[in-house]
Amino acid sequence: SGNVVIGNDFDSDLNLHGGWERNNLFELNTVRVSYGHRSGNCRANCGDEGGGGPDDSNWFPIWWGAGKKAVKWSGATGARNVFFNNTMTKQLSTNGPFQDYYPDKQRIYIFGWNGTGYQHLDIAGTPIPDWAKNEQRDYTNGHGIDATKTDSAPSLFLKNVSR
């Protein structure tokens, strides 16, 4: 909690395990997640913290603690995890193209937030049971991601950015 993750180049997900992980800022990162980075291609701790084996889900650039999987991590991911001006992509098949993920560079995506307080990511008002297979849903407009703000600056944290 309370971290600034800035200017990195990752080939795996930005993992918010839960346990009320909150108030983090992720900006100016490049996250390029290949198809190989998924539960079915894993040898240990493969995404089913509930005790079963790997599932057929993909691991996207952001991992959010929800449902039974979050129990292992002491609960759901917490409020106000901010993603801004990142380049995030996911490959969904072997040798397939990389697809953009939360691509709006000026949009401020505040996960676990409804504008005034904490909110679980939900589908039609019901908290998601698992992040797996729910990574591409739209959680804006009152469903757990406040995306109502934009900023034209290259960084929310740094006064000057040189890349």
> Considering the domain boundaries, does residue 146 fall inside one?
yes
> Considering the domain boundaries, does residue 158 fall inside one?
no
Which position has the higher pLDDT, 126 or 49? 126
Residue 46 has pLDDT above 80, yes or no: no
* pTM score of the predicted model: 0.93
Residue 132 has pLDDT above 80, yes or no: yes
Q: pLDDT by residue (tens digit) across 106-118? A: 999 999 999 999 9
Q: How does residue 48 score in pLDDT terms, banded at 50, 70 and 90?
A: low
Among 73, 60, 64, residue whose Cα is nearest residue 19: 73
Please, are residues 112 and 87 in contact by the beta-carbon 8 Å criterion?
no
How many angstroms from the chain centroid is the CA of residue 82?
9
Which position has the higher pLDDT, 115 or 19? 115
> Considering the domain boundaries, does residue 119 fall inside one?
yes
> Considering the domain boundaries, does residue 41 fall inside one?
yes
